[in-house]
Structure 1
Amino acid sequence: MGKSDVNLAALIGSRICHDLISPIGAINNGLELLGMAGGDTGPEMDLIQESVGNASARIRFFRIAFGAAGEQMMGRAEVVSILRDLMEGARLTVAWGPMDAQPRAEVRMAFLALLCVEAAMPYGGRIEISVDGGNWTLHGRADKLNIDQPLWNILATKDAPSDLRPAQVQFALLPLVAADASRRVTTEIAVEDIRLKF
């Protein structure tokens, strides 16, 4: 996949997320109005509100991870808000280390890397994201990791198999986006620790 293909895929991702966030936001506003009007707030309404919140959090995250990056900066508060909403109720916790605003293109790579590390931690754990001198590290710790080695090989070889599933697309996309930024993705995998750097 060439750089133009990556850019086209990013524009498609941005378009889809942009078009979905408005109706989901409208549903959420409608639910709030129902609540203010004294409407039914039973378990059915709670389930709808939880599902809408989850969908909104995922779209905000995917818009950064799979959308066009642009040149703008992203502040710590915005990134932490996205990650907090995304991980609400999950067995996985994510700690965003950078205190300063970061380029959206680098946050995009960090989010793609997060999806990779998350895939190795299906039973939960903790992921710490840090940057030092422009070098990013994602450190995941869990009692049990589940490493699908062929997927992790893609990060080094950039050769994605033809049978790659949609849930694994981050493994194919991250090394291409990193290469466009003159970065190389490296990994260190131990029994209970995994580090992904770029």
Structure 2
Amino acid sequence: MTEVHSLSADATLRPHGETDLGAKVASRICHDLANPLGAIANGLELLLMTGLEPTPELSLLQDSVASASARIRWFRLAFGPAGPQRVGRAEVTDILRAISRGTRLSYDWTVQGDAPRGEVKAVFLLLQCLEAALPLGGRLTISRSDDAWQVTAHSSRLRFDPSLWASLTSPEVPSPDTPAQVQFALLPQALAELGRALQVEAGTDQIRARF
């Protein structure tokens, strides 16, 4: 493993108020989308209860709704306000299990018990950063020792972009401004609010990140 960079918690960041407003908007959008998705899921279940024969088309609809619901729950944790609440292990593993169904990604959440919402928010943003380096899929392992978190991405083929990851580890490097890479812009802010520093090591078949 070769160490890449270390991010200091006092990096230059956006004003807290702007970030907090964006998080509230994200949470509101997720909340408003969750209700109609839940209604669709309930409607499909009622159709099956009436004796309608299951078909590949219905199964596809059910899987799509479940995936979208899991993605919204993920977004609510990753992009919503951190807050003082704690997040239970059951909720996290349920989201990860649902979101990985039918994909080439798998998640191994080894953390026992619940965790502060702000820390889970940072982990979910970090997971999204690591997913960008796994074009052919892979396995992501999340662990915590005392107060330190470690997330490791394993894959036979990695796409590690040093210039992209430098935005996490160097305040002088501007954050990406594309929607697909918004997690790279938000993770430094989440870590700064926790008073944490990020360390990243990249090798031929795995990337290890700690904070």
The verdict on a shared fold, with TM-score over 0.5 as the criterion, is yes
Unaligned runs of 5+ in 2: 1-13
Residue 198 of structure 2 corresponds to 185
2:151 alignment partner in structure 1 = 138
TM-score by length of 1: 0.95
Q: For the Cα contact (< 8 Å) 1:116–1:171, is it kept in 2?
A: yes
- The structural deviation recorded for 1:20 is 0.5
Question: How far 1:40 moved relative to its partner?
Answer: 4.9
| Residue of structure 1 in register with 2:38 after alignment | 25
Normalising by structure 2, report the TM-score.
0.89
Please give the alpha-carbon distance, in whole angstroms, between the structure 1 residues aligned to 2:180 and 2:199.
21
Cα separation, 1, equivalents of 2:73 and 2:47: 24
Aligned to 1:108: 121
Report SS of the residue matched to 1:59. helix
* Separation in structure 2 between the aligned mates of residue 19 and residue 183 of structure 1, nearest angstrom: 32
1:62 aligns with 2:108: no
Are 2:186 and 1:173 equivalent residues in the alignment? Answer: yes
Q: State the distance in 2 between where 1:13 and 1:134 align.
A: 27
Structure 1 unmatched ranges of 5 or more:
none
- Aligned equivalents of 1:29, 1:160: Cα separation in 2: 44
CA distance in 1, matches of 2:52, 2:87: 38
Count residues with an aligned counterpart: 197
Alignment of 1:19-168 (within 5 A): 19-158=32-171, 159-161=173-175, 164-168=177-181
Task: Decide whether the 8 Å contact of 1:6 with 1:177 is kept in 2.
Answer: no
Q: Aligned partners of 2:174 and 2:62: how far apart in 1?
A: 38
SS at match of 2:143: strand
RMSD (Å), alpha carbons = 1.3
Q: Deviations over 1:109-135 (max 9, x none)?
A: 110011111111111111110111211
Using the alignment, how far apart are the partners of 2:110 and 2:119 within structure 1?
Answer: 14
Whole-Å separation in 1 of the counterparts to 2:188 and 2:120: 14
Q: For the Cα contact (< 8 Å) 1:155–1:186, is it kept in 2?
A: no
Moved over 6 A (4+): none
Q: Secondary structure at the match of 1:61?
A: helix
Considering Cα pairs closer than 8 Å and 6+ residues apart, tell me whether 1 or 2 has the greater RCO: 2
- Rounded Cα–Cα distance in structure 2 between residues aligned with 1:76 and 1:153: 31
**What percent identity do the matched residue pairs reach?**
47
